[in-house]
Amino acid sequence: MQTKTRYSLKEMLHWTRWETYGFLAFSTIVVILYDQLGWTFLNVPWTPVALIGTAVAFIVGFQNNAAYGRIWEARKIWGGIVNTSRTWGMKTKDMVTNEHAHSPVSESQLKSFRSILVYRHIAWLTALRHAMRQPKSWEAFENHRTNREWSKVIHIPEKIFSLEDDLFHYLDADEWTYIMGKKNKAAAILYLQSKNIRDLKEKGLIWEFAFLELENVLEELFTLQGKSERIKNFPYPRQYATLSHIFVWIFLLLLPFGIVPEFSKIALNLSDDFSWSWCLTWLAIPFCTLVSWVFHTMQRIGTVGENPFEGSANDVPISTIARGIEIDLRQLLDEDHNIIPKQFPEENNIQM
């Protein structure tokens, strides 16, 4: 899915509320121990904390850049699928004709042949988007509590409708049975497409040059499918993700022990000039919470962006893209608009 508009601060805070409560409680405990109970040995020099924070900032920045790169590449791939799908619809409509037919057929039969090619392509889109939504062992989106809450609010079509039921609408019974017996169903559908246009060429319903053009389109679809599968099946390197997670939490645990003593020093220096200087130490609580929230939220954004087909709010909206292509192609066939399915609805300004 993909956000149509930017997140508001309220939504971001709600998404990270449990961590924020934890940061608030942890920094409060450190202030009480240090300022009220006199445990001044809970003091980590600020210099090493700042150095660790600098290193963590670079690591988190690298992770976010890499995650964004994967999302952007996935978006370009599915943009290519949109263009190539429209090309397929255009060429099948204009290249399946009686012009070179050995035994000309009726216009209704030609229309049926074109519809089969288009519907089979929609089946390919359906199989591909279902494959991209299949969970992988390294995908961690559902491991977090607020992410699971999000998944319950947003209804991803591939998690509601089965592939078997979705494909049944676009394939005849024999082809459906054949496809369901294959592991890579999207690739199997493209094999059927190639076999079908070869049969039409042998009947003269597709000219030899047109056959080569359609084969080139299928080749491009194979290429785009492979690129999409590459992103799905090759995760963001675990060593970088794990180190980023560990280093962020090391920094977050050390942060209050470095900030609270610094605020306490400021309070002591101002104690002779300001009667309310004692409360300066307590200002470390919101400051620690804010800094911790920034670092942790950036790390979480990078984590959910590693796999652009999982179903997070910033993922590529492959369900919406595929349904949009289906609507375009079926309108190209001049079907009654009442039988053409509607676009998947947006939920909370999120495209599926």
d(C-alpha 60, C-alpha 245), whole Å: 9
d(C-alpha 192, C-alpha 188), whole Å: 6
**Adjacent-strand bridge partners of 351:** 2
d(C-alpha 316, C-alpha 74), whole Å: 7
Closest to 17 in 3D by CA, of 305, 293, 301, 304: 293
Q: For 24, list phi and psi in degrees, rounded to 5.
A: -65, -45
Q: What is the 3-state secondary structure (H, E, C) of 43-69?
A: CCCHHHHHHHHHHHHHHHHHHHHHHHH
Please give the pLDDT value at position 137.
82
Burial of 237 (0-12, 13-18, 19+ CB in 10 A): exposed
Please give the pLDDT value at position 226.
97
Who contacts 179 (Cβ-Cβ below 8 Å, separation ≥6)? 123, 127, 167, 171, 185, 188, 189, 192
DSSP character at residue 277: G
pLDDT digits (tens, 9 = 90+) for 47-66: 899 999 999 999 999 999 99
SS3 140: coil
SS3 171: coil
Please give the pLDDT value at position 346.
81
State how far Cα 42 lies from the chain centre.
Answer: 42
Residues of the chain whose pLDDT is less than 50? 1-6
Q: How far is CA 150 from CA 13, 68, 138, 313, in A?
A: 14, 21, 19, 9
d(C-alpha 277, C-alpha 266), whole Å: 8
pLDDT digits (tens, 9 = 90+) for 174-183: 999 999 999 9
SS3 132: helix
Token pair, residue 287, equals 């400051």
Domain spans of the chain, in order of start: 2-351
> Does the reported pTM lie above 0.85?
yes
Please give the pLDDT value at position 277.
53
